[in-house]
Amino acid sequence: MEEDLGFYFIPTDQELIVDYLLQRVAGLPLPSDVISDASVFSTPPWELLAGRVEAYFFSEQKPLGSSRSSRKMKSGTWKKESTSKEETAFLDSGAVVRWKKSLFSFHPTGCDCSSGFVMRERAEKVSVLDREDLPKMLH
């Protein structure tokens, strides 16, 4: 009998930010290809998940204003439910990374009710000045 081999991807917030998001921003290789690119603000959640219960994606924010992003699409809107306090990680290089998590629920067009789809957004807070030094900070 043959068994399929695999692994569970259950990262901490710090692993998502430091090992994946910041590595990607710095143009460095990622530990695995388990996080894919997706247009989360223009693709309905049921299409993103494609039968999975949970998935992780890299996505660009659609600018709405200087500090907000549009989360509306034809099939509905991602509405923010809450934002966490700022979290911090200290890298071996001495650099400090800060991020916030936001929780969104998907509300179908024409209904002021939640569909049950939930998105957890993590946004890093490395300043633009630090971005050029990011590869050195991560190693």
Domain ranges of the chain: 13-138
Q: Mean pLDDT over residues 39-52, rounded?
A: 90
Q: Mean pLDDT over residues 12-38, rounded?
A: 91
Residue 55, pLDDT score:
93
CATH fold of 13-138 reads 2.170.150
- In single-letter form, the type of residue at position 106 comes to F
**Per-residue pLDDT tens digits for 84-93:** 888 888 888 8
Give the number of other CB atoms < 10 A from CB of residue 40. Answer: 22
Q: Evaluate whether 30 touches 24 at the Cβ level (below 8 Å).
A: yes
